[in-house]
Amino acid sequence: MAEPVAASPAFPFGLAALSRLDARQKLMALAMVALAVALLIGAWLWTREPPYGVLFSNLSDQDGGQIVAALQQQNIPYKISEGGGAILVPVGQVHEARLKLASQGLPKGGLVGFELMENQKLGISQFAEQINYQRGLEGELARSIQALGAVRAARVHLAIPKQTAFLRDDLKPSASVLVSLQPGRTLEPAQIAGIVHLVSSSVPQLSPANVSVIDQDGKLISQRLDGFRNDNLNPSQLGYVREVEAQYVKRIETILEPLLGKGNFRTQVAAEIDFSQVEQVEESYQPNPNPRTAIRSQQTSESGAGNPPALGVPGALTNQPPVPATAPITTPPVAGATAAGGAAAGNYTRNATINYELDKTVRHTRATPGAVKRLSVAVAVNHKRPLDKDGKPGKAVPPSAEELKRINDLVRESIGFDEKRGDTINVAAANFVQAEPEAIPELPLWKDPALIGFVREMLPYLGFILVALFVWIKLVKPVIEMFKAAAVAEKAASEENLATEPSVGGEAPLGPHPPTLDERLQKARELAQQEPKLVAEMVKEWMGAGT
């Protein structure tokens, strides 16, 4: 008969201990081991699964289907919340997934563009066709506005009146734009003007004044442009003014910082810029000087009642050519030119007109906009704190009048001070007040964000440890105790058998380790040779017990 294998102290689940268990105990042990393994594997998998965060919510069915298809294509795990109101992805991939989907234009926000016109049915009415066109135009404008980085979503509503042939009933179209901005983002005036111009340019006869833009809080943000219109300034001109002021401030800081030290002075510059565009044409006339006299035109006229008689004394003078006509006021009479028969000579009139050129000057002047009309500069200088004997800052001492004058002169030179245009500079000394650091209230330990984040990260592992502890106490440990009890019982039975076994040749019984089968056969042979009668009696007893 083969002897069962005893369990070792290191591994008490020997075959002998297992064989001493009944069928119910074996089945219970296997079930508990299987349950323990399942719980451990489930707890480990639970700790390995990352937490999920909301990728998008309140999506239309069309956008939801496109986003799910894109996630499957990119091998990004996702979940759909109960009711299909949100799409969840692992927290570590939320921002990456949003960027990837945004590059594909998802989600589109349920906007319908001009693709609505592709499914026009045959026989559709003109009214329905106009409505579809208006819906498509609104969707395309909304998509264009959503392309701005600060805009999360946009809606465009167009009010296009029906065209009429009567001018009295002619109404102009209008538009309203609702923009939902990204958290912490705002629209610059130039961006608002761009939205207004985009919408007004896309609809015929739509004036920019009839376009209203509001944000998600219901504030009319398009009215910000009214101030610029009233001042005849646009956002670019206002930005130019700020840039000019910043340049002057930088000049002053560059020259004062090495002298006073950083943080020991403050500078502000107010610049008045002339953006008017002036064109001037000037003409001036002056008489030419005598050496450069030039005749522009000359005219001579002569009139009379009849043929003039012969003039002069018969002879040589009469045969001479006539004397040039001259004005009697300016030119003295020529000798021998006195008319004979005064009645006939008085009927004739001779006039001469001479026009001289004048010195003409034409000036065409055009002023460039953006010139500085006036500068106002204010500089505040901090009091000095000289070091005492111990090298620590002492009592504050205001700068002297000479130092202030030197600072004033340096500022005048750095900005190009011009008294004719009305520039002003004010340099004053003041003891700067040191801003006390804002006291941050101490958060209790249980509200510490770092601690809360650490607990959230360690919570899955803590849960796994608790599950493993429960499995050990309630499932594994009872099985081990059961096997230990069976092993102890097996060991006690073996020792009892060895204690009752007779000694051979006066030798003491074997120790705690039982002999092998060959050793027992050898002992039996030796016993039969030494005590044949005793062996015969034992055989008779076995045969009698068997019968």
Are 472 and 482 spatial neighbours (Cβ–Cβ below 8 Å)? no
Beta strand pairing status for 349-356 and 174-181? Answer: unpaired
**Any idea what the Cα angle at residue 64 is, between residues 58 and 70, rounded to 5°?**
135
Residue 6 has pLDDT above 60, yes or no: no
pLDDT higher at 244 or 346:
244
Report d(CA 455, CA 289) in Å as an integer. Answer: 102
- Both structure tokens of 390: 């111990």
Cβ of 392: how many Cβ atoms within 10 Å?
8
Confidence of residue 3 (pLDDT cuts 50, 70, 90): very low
pLDDT higher at 324 or 544:
544
Residue with tokens 């309203």: 176
pLDDT higher at 46 or 54:
54
DSSP 11: -
Question: Helices 94-103 and 61-73 sit at what angle, rounded to 10 degrees?
Answer: 110
pLDDT of residue 332: 52
- Cis? peptide before 107, omega within 30° of 0: yes
Instruction: Write out pLDDT tens, residues 109-133.
Output: 656 666 667 777 777 888 888 888 8
- The one-letter amino acid at 209: A
Report d(CA 121, CA 125) in Å as an integer. Answer: 10
Are 237 and 275 spatial neighbours (Cβ–Cβ below 8 Å)? yes
Coil, helix or strand at residue 466? helix
Report d(CA 401, CA 414) in Å as an integer. Answer: 20
**Any idea what the Cα angle at residue 534 is, between residues 528 and 536, rounded to 5°?**
80
Confidence of residue 452 (pLDDT cuts 50, 70, 90): confident
Are 164 and 99 spatial neighbours (Cβ–Cβ below 8 Å)? no
DSSP 371-418: EEEEEEEEEEEEPB--B-TTS-B---BPPPHHHHHHHHHHHHHHHT--
Nearest to 403 by CA among 427, 433, 387: 427
Residue 378 has pLDDT above 90, yes or no: yes
Residues of the chain above pLDDT 70, percent:
70
- 211 pairs with which residues across the strands? 175
Report d(CA 73, CA 97) in Å as an integer. Answer: 12
DSSP 159-180: E-PPP-S-GGG----EEEEEEE
Residue 329 has pLDDT above 50, yes or no: no
Confidence of residue 439 (pLDDT cuts 50, 70, 90): low
Residue with tokens 């101030």: 227
Please provide residue 136's backbone torsions phi and psi, each rounded to the nearest 5 degrees.
-65, -40
Q: What is the mean pLDDT of the chain?
A: 76
Instruction: Write out pLDDT tens, residues 453-508.
Output: 677 777 777 877 888 888 788 777 877 777 777 667 666 766 666 655 554 444 44
Instruction: Write out pLDDT tens, residues 408-419.
Output: 999 999 999 999
Are 297 and 276 spatial neighbours (Cβ–Cβ below 8 Å)? no
- Both structure tokens of 464: 């796994």
Report d(CA 380, CA 83) in Å as an integer. Answer: 64
Residue 4 has pLDDT above 50, yes or no: no
pLDDT of residue 183: 82
Cβ of 465: how many Cβ atoms within 10 Å?
13
- Tally the C-alpha atoms within 13 A of residue 38's C-alpha that lie toward its C-beta: 7
Are 283 and 360 spatial neighbours (Cβ–Cβ below 8 Å)? yes
- Average pLDDT over every residue of 246-264: 91
User: How far apart are the two ends of the chain, measured CA to CA in Å?
Assistant: 21
